[in-house]
Amino acid sequence: MRLNFKDLIIFENDDYILINKPPHVASLDERQADNSLSILRMAKEYANDAQLCHRLDKETSGVLAIAKNPVAYRHLSMQ
């Protein structure tokens, strides 16, 4: 199954992307799977400097904040 990252976006500006993460999709790359689907991998294909500001468990759905640049990531991580 291949998700379209753009279909997950619920808000985007110059610094952040908010997505609706579906269940059963990993937030980060899984160590044991070489080509597993992850939100981080899709986000980096969409915006090269993308970093997850937090994570949700693989089985959990919900809003996930992604920073589009290092400055935005640092700003949100300090909150």
CATH fold group of domain 5-77: Pseudouridine synthase (3.30.2350)
pLDDT for res 29: 86
Tell me the three state secondary structure of residue 44.
helix
pTM over 0.75: yes
Sign of the torsion angle spanned by Cα atoms 4, 9, 12, 16: negative
Give the amino acid at 63: V
Q: Mind listing the pLDDT tens digit for each residue in 16-59?
A: 999 999 999 999 987 766 667 899 999 999 999 999 999 999 99
Average pLDDT of the residues in 7-20: 98
